[in-house]
Structure 1
Amino acid sequence: MRAGLATLVLLALAGYVFLHYQTGGARAPECVVTGTGTGEPYRLQPQQAANAATIQAVASSRGLPERAVTIALATAMQESSLRNIDYGDRDSLGLFQQRPSMGWGSEEEIMDPVYAAGQFYDHLVQIPGYTTMPLTEAAQMVQRSAFPDEYAKHEPQAAMLTAALTGRAAASLYCTSAMDPAPGDPGEIRGRLAHEFGDAVRTDHSGRDITVEVPEPELSPQGWEVAHWAVAHAAEFGVERIVHRDRVWEARRSVKGWQAAREQDTADGLLITVAP
């Protein structure tokens, strides 16, 4: 009898755990890039997505083409798995494993993803024809890696991520988040946007709401570019809600991704709301 009761308790517990995870209650946070056609989604951790969004933002601030972003993302995927690590071969550091001893900057500078991405692009744009040569060749000319062919394997995912982060593929990146995010600071987000995008993005805020100016929102990809940046950084900055045109992402329903907004909630531009 005791054994039977114990079995029933275990079955009930197993059922609860299954339902809890399936409904997103205790699902590990992740970010998902949806593919086109029958392509499989590309999944990565929020930290990786946030770093990728920063790499793209720096390219945007410089007016660089999508190909530059794809090369940079594939390189960072290979060098650090898109993590801002403080270790590596010899004195290599950061997203691109740049070495202070080789003139890439100080340790503190290299550990700033904005600086590191800028250094990568500074070297990349010096390569004649980098936009048309094989990705692995362009990356190797910047990195001088002992494994020059390894960058190529990351190109499909890097291109998919680039399409989302540049805003060309609308509503194609979402991240799951805590249902009750930590309190956010609108000023901190505005400062970070300015640091990463420079003058390319203009913002204002009132209370917990940050508005992003988007010229010609129906035509320009910039709205989705910044919306995807915001969702990638949502866990870091306590973002509760993002509305762009007729789509909305909410922390409490984040496992559903971008959803159709109610008519009264639609926005011509981009609205980011942080948690209180």
Structure 2
Amino acid sequence: MDKKSKKIPITKIGGLNNSNYLIELQDEKYVLRIPSSDNTNNFYSEHDILSLIKHYSISPEILYHNKDNGILLSKYMESSKFNLEFYNSTTFINTLVNTLKKLHNLECTTYFNPFNEIYNNISFLNSVNFIFNHDINLLITKLKDLEIKLCNKIHYGLCHNDLNTSNILSANNFIYLIDFEFSGMGDIFFDLATISWFLKDEIQDYLIKKYFGYFDIELKEKLKDYLYVVKLWNATWSYKKSIDSKSDYDYRLGGNMILDDLINY
């Protein structure tokens, strides 16, 4: 080995479902994503979606993606740090909607049905005798009622389906999205509701008006209904992860906190 060679700086930068590393090489920065051993997502679908969106400035430039194991290398993008004030600003909503509409107008062959995902998660949890701290049957009864109601009119598009703040980057007056492991065709209200989780009521109204060009009570009611679906999906996913995750994050506690909110929704 050349004695003059230098170590490549590598820094772990977090992640729950994956391990992410910042790599510095020849004055350039990159992000390496390595899925955790318990990550069972469909990386073939993610590969197709990454290929689909690469010309639309939706995500940082992808340099490599392995569709068999999900290992991904992308260019690093410096993002402004999020706080609730910025998250609840019209500036954030304006730039976010521009990105979301580009994504939602695309089509792929992968489908994401949050109702089926929740039912499957609960079926799995029951099969391993998972003990719920809440009346899960009561929550599922409400979900089934919402499924009938919400499936009557679907606003169809390619959705990200995991728009937590760790998957949103704010840079150069644009919003970029990362981690498309759950992405697929579905109702765009799943994305809008995920965003709305920590939005003030008046900013939720602004999001609706900015996205659709108008505001009405029917759209607001649908947003609230889908927020229930989003939260229940996140809770059941967290419970499922809690069974064999090696992460320091307490997935069971996270799921319980969500259901504490939903039980009186």
- Which range, TM-score by smaller chain? under 0.3
Higher-Rg structure is 1
When normalised by structure 1's length, the TM-score is: 0.26
